[in-house]
């Protein structure tokens, strides 16, 4: 009887871990480049669900987060909404609207 209880507990623990692993979210996907300039130093993260889904791009060269809000709405041209320049860890950040030069290449 004791072995059956241990097996049951191990199975329940395994199911709990599997469900937790499946439900995890917000894991950033790091961009990989072929060494072609600044594009190799970008990290991407998609957050939210449905119409409020946002894409965040972090550029390690200038320590700036670029936020593209509502990426599942509108047409196929998605503009940067705003950015955050990170001067040092823990320091306050100021939200800045993306300029025209950042939106159009």
The string of pLDDT tens digits covering residues 18-66 is 887 776 665 655 655 554 454 568 888 888 888 888 889 988 888 888 9
Position 39 in a domain: yes
DSSP sequence for 27-47:
--EE---SS-GGGGGEEEEEE
Position 32 in a domain: yes
Q: How many domains does one find in the chain?
A: 1
Q: Which domain holds residue 49?
A: 27-103
Question: 46, 52, 47: which is closest to 31 by C-alpha?
Answer: 46
Position 10 in a domain: no
**Does the pTM of the predicted model rise above 0.75?**
no
Are the beta carbons of 57 and 44 closer than 8 angstroms?
yes
**Cα 75 from Cα 81, distance rounded (Å):** 15
Are the beta carbons of 82 and 95 closer than 8 angstroms?
yes
**Cα 17 from Cα 7, distance rounded (Å):** 15
Position 13 in a domain: no
The string of pLDDT tens digits covering residues 6-18 is 899 999 888 888 8
Position 7 in a domain: no
Position 68 in a domain: yes
């Amino acid at each position: 009887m004791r072995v059956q209880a241990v097996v049951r507990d191990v199975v329940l623990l395994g199911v709990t871990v599997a469900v937790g692993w499946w439900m995890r979210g917000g894991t950033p996907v790091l961009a990989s480049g072929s060494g072609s300039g600044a594009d190799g130093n970008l990290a991407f993260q998609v957050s939210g669900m449905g119409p409020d889904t946002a894409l965040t791009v972090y550029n390690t060269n200038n320590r700036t987060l670029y936020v593209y809000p509502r990426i599942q709405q509108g047409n196929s041209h998605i503009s940067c909404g705003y950015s955050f320049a990170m001067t040092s860890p823990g320091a306050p950040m100021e939200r800045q609207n993306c300029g025209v030069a950042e939106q159009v290449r």
